[in-house]
Structure 1
Amino acid sequence: MESTAIDFDGLIRPGDTIMWGQSHAEPVTLMRALVRARRRLARIRVFLGIGFAEVLEPEHADSIDFLAYCGSGSNRKLARAGVLDILPAHYSQLPGLIRSRALRVDVVMLQVSPPDAQGRHSLGLAREYLVEAVKGARTVIAEVHPGVPWTFGGPYLRASDLDLLVRSDAAFPEHPKNAPGEIEQAIGRHVADFVDDGATLQTGIGAIPDAVLAALADRRELGVHSGSIGDGIAALAQSGAISNARKTIDAGITVGGVLIGSERLRRFAHGNASLELRGTEYTHDPCVLGRIERFVAINSAVEVDLTGQVNAEVAAGTYVGAVGGVGDFLRAAQASRGGVPIVALPSTAGRHGRIVVRVSGPVTVPRSDACVIVTEYGAADLRGLSLAQRVPRMIAIAHPDHREQLERDARACSM
């Protein structure tokens, strides 16, 4: 049923949990309508990914309980206000949690593309955990947006599959401009040293992944199997550096879960049969990842300690990151033939060092999952190293102003 009005009566019930896509896949028109109707709907819960739309505010907690897997984007203000609860789960676990209803999803709100010639709407910019949620939700509501690309990968929905379909022309959130500076470019060059022709890449989003991808312009026959796909991937594909020809699974196809980027990325994705978006049960599944050779996983962190423990979640007491897919992808790269697990981060955040004696937040990646740690000062390959061997390698990539203190603190801790 297609409508221009949005009436949630009979579709959303008190106590329901509602899920929608993240970043540019947020159904902005439906979100705004939900916020307006929240008091009439009584208390509900929403599950959030990365927020870009700036629709949700802390005061909406008067009727909405906020649950998220991450503290990124507009979720940060909810976290700082103390109204955001966190589900600290590996991304690979989300489909199973939804399927078992340990993470109950009653209503799914989607942003979909205009239909193709066969009347099929694509999920457009995101599949991820939405694929499993659509299967089990009592109610599926969608907004169709003319700017959403028709992307391959399924599932495809017809109007008859939806309980309510509304039209939307809401502006896409402005894509954060993270132009790489000197530090990010230096990190990108160091990471690029670990990427050979024919490697299959996984990256996140932001200035450091963009700098890494820019440094790979001279590589050939690269592949992509990633959670997120951004403008940097589109640029490399259009330049010919990415062909996916040597991938050991999905040859010829760039595989991702969500598109996070600008209008350029949306144009690249529209009707592009060499790009497929898949559900999290595929993109992050260890059995699938285990079949990828030369898998290079490039992830970020809040801080890393001298033994290789990684905190990717909490900074200064606020939840700003996620467990997310970092553990899934790094462990897959460790096991991959010719693979490289990489954690890349600047050596400082303001005056504070990000190479530390002990992490100040949770251990997202344990030191037993040894990685290559990269800052603008170089790379510390911790694979196969003892704890005593790791300490000087890590201090060597810390900011020069912090190395002497790190050495003293390491001695005091008998490292």
Structure 2
Amino acid sequence: MGVDFGQESVKAAKIVIAGISEHMPWTGGDSLIHADRIDWWVEHNAPLLTSEELFPNLDRNILPPSVLNKIVENVMFEIPDGATLKFDINLAVNQLIPFLKDKKDLGLHSDLLTDELLQLIKTGVITNARKNINRGKTIVSHATGNKALFRYIHRNPAVEFQSLYKINRIDHIAQQDNLIAIIGGLKVDLSGQLAVDSVGSRFYSGVGSSDDSIRGADYSKGGKPIVILPSMSVKGNSNILFALPEGTGVTITRLDVHYVITEYGTAFLFGKGIRERCLALIDIAHPDCRKYLLDQAKNSFYIHSEQSGNSYKSAYPDQWECLHQTKRGKEVFIRPIKAVDEDNLRNFFHKLSDQNVYMRYFTHIRSLPQKVLKRFSDIDYHKDMALVALYPPKTTQQEIVGIGQWIIDERGGMPELALQVRDDWQGQGLGKFLFLRLIEMAKYYKIIKLKADVLSDNKAMNLVFETAGILYHKKPK
């Protein structure tokens, strides 16, 4: 049930026929039509069909638990308390909704009210208390669920039904601050073009509000347009492709796609060039497909031919991810470096002082060559290792503020250790934490010894060794 385009249809129609039912809930908003506009009345008092009666054989759990749980983890990372949510009418998206149970004061401005969303309203997760528009009200256009849902919305002033035209007008969506739009995708190509309704010549749905939701969230102050999709289809094919199949409709253009989330992570594409987009999307593709996607991108000159793809040769060691609080109370996210960090690593270098650079590289250099950036970021985790400290921790738009790494000596010597912390983050114990974390990892990977070349006047680095409680030997040069 819902108002959909009811008001607009009545205004445009020459003859209006109204169905009358004592079981239809009385709702606020765009729900009333003056009796003078009705030409014919048809009474039909059968109970409203529930969603189970409408779709008795529908499998609502299309994402397997292992995939769902990881996608949920990545999506929840992007949703702050107090955000207003707008959902696509999509089974995969609907599976995420119950996992919002630990959020606080969420708002709802969406096409459809479901049993899952009603549960969040009843448990106080969705309160609409922090909305800057329609505060205290749930705004939807239609509803489907069980009889309890129909009873809840009947004469309930906290739920307002508005036409789809109003719900999905981009300027209306954008007026709502902190609006998070979550839509489900079918396929995405390496440039960021997204297919929602069709793949090739086969259609899976009709025209929905996905593009309006994405653009509205983009314009919303503090908003986020999020696309979710599993890395693989039910048939075992990659949902991240070099190019969309011929005949596929591009529902969302590459310029409008900001966040793409799979079970393997989040690709933030806004403002990125084609090389950065490719690396970001390959990073969240299924591991079995990454090398093939990289080769396709290199063959088409989307990515430089020297991109080694070392990080795709072994599984990403996510067990070493952690949050760390510095001495000044700032929280950073520590994780192994990824190939997609190449540009972030360049930005990190250019925020270092000349003295900081000299202490690390023993010479004055103005920039890191591309091949060095690739070597440091695109590593084979079976051999080399690097940890980056990212700030702020709870967003995908992060800066590198520190890095610790070891690089295997191909001639059979000891792996070489190096640490570097941005000048404005020094003195907070970050370098020492990275050092101890690398020592812990070295023990795990059965690396017995590490070496480090350190200038005698590098007081910060020498202090790390002296206070870490780790056995070490100096060999002055």
| TM-score where L is the length of structure 2 | 0.58
* Cα deviations by residue, 1:194-246 (Å, 9 ceiling, x for unpaired): 10011000012344223322221111111011122222211111110111011
Q: CA 1:203–1:363 in 2, change beyond 3 Å: closer, same or farther?
A: same
Q: Which moved more, 1:313-322 or 1:403-412?
A: 313-322
Paired letter, 2:20: V
- The equivalent residue for 2:252 is 365
1:388 aligns with 2:270: no
1:178 & 1:348 partners in 2: Cα distance? 18
Q: Secondary structure at the match of 2:68?
A: helix
2:85 & 2:170 partners in 1: Cα distance? 16
Q: Which moved more, 1:177-186 or 1:234-243?
A: 177-186
Q: How does 1:151-300 map to 2 (within 5 A)?
A: 151-157=27-33, 161-168=37-44, 169=46, 172=49, 173-175=53-55, 176-179=58-61, 181-182=64-65, 183-300=67-184
Shift of 1:324: 2.1
Equivalent pair of 1:312/1:323 in contact (CA under 8 Å)? no
Shift of 1:159: 5.3
Which of residues 221, 241, 257 is equivalent to 1:356? 241
1:146 & 1:378 partners in 2: Cα distance? 49
Q: CA 1:178–1:158 in 2, change beyond 3 Å: closer, same or farther?
A: same
Q: Which moved more, 1:283-292 or 1:191-200?
A: 283-292
Q: Which moved more, 1:163-172 or 1:289-298?
A: 163-172
- The equivalent residue for 1:33 is none
Equivalent pair of 1:229/1:260 in contact (CA under 8 Å)? yes
Q: Secondary structure at the match of 1:139?
A: coil
Which of residues 109, 128, 134 is equivalent to 2:10? 134
Shift of 1:177: 4.8
* Cα deviations by residue, 1:309-334 (Å, 9 ceiling, x for unpaired): 11112124122224421111111111
1:335 & 1:306 partners in 2: Cα distance? 24
Which of residues 340, 359, 377 is equivalent to 2:264? 377
Which of residues 145, 150, 175 is equivalent to 2:26? 150
Shift of 1:158: 5.6
Q: CA 1:155–1:205 in 2, change beyond 3 Å: closer, same or farther?
A: closer
Paired letter, 1:397: I
2:284 & 2:76 partners in 1: Cα distance? 16
* Cα deviations by residue, 1:286-324 (Å, 9 ceiling, x for unpaired): 222221110100011121111111111212412222442
Q: Which moved more, 1:283-292 or 1:336-345?
A: 283-292
1:326 aligns with 2:210: yes
Structure scoring higher RCO (CA < 8 A, sep ≥ 6) equals 1
- The equivalent residue for 1:413 is 300
Shift of 1:266: 2.2
- What RMSD, in angstroms, separates the aligned Cα atoms of the two structures? 1.9
Equivalent pair of 1:187/1:211 in contact (CA under 8 Å)? no
Q: Secondary structure at the match of 1:327?
A: helix
Unaligned runs of 5+ residues in structure 1 are: 1-124
1:341 & 1:161 partners in 2: Cα distance? 39
Equivalent pair of 1:254/1:275 in contact (CA under 8 Å)? yes
2:78 & 2:165 partners in 1: Cα distance? 28
Q: Secondary structure at the match of 1:134?
A: helix
2:301 & 2:206 partners in 1: Cα distance? 31
Unaligned runs of 5+ residues in structure 2 are: 303-477
Shift of 1:160: 5.1
- Larger Rg: 1 or 2? 2
Equivalent pair of 1:126/1:277 in contact (CA under 8 Å)? yes
Q: CA 1:210–1:414 in 2, change beyond 3 Å: closer, same or farther?
A: same
* Cα deviations by residue, 1:240-267 (Å, 9 ceiling, x for unpaired): 0111011110000011111133334323
Q: How many residues align?
A: 291
Q: Secondary structure at the match of 2:16?
A: strand
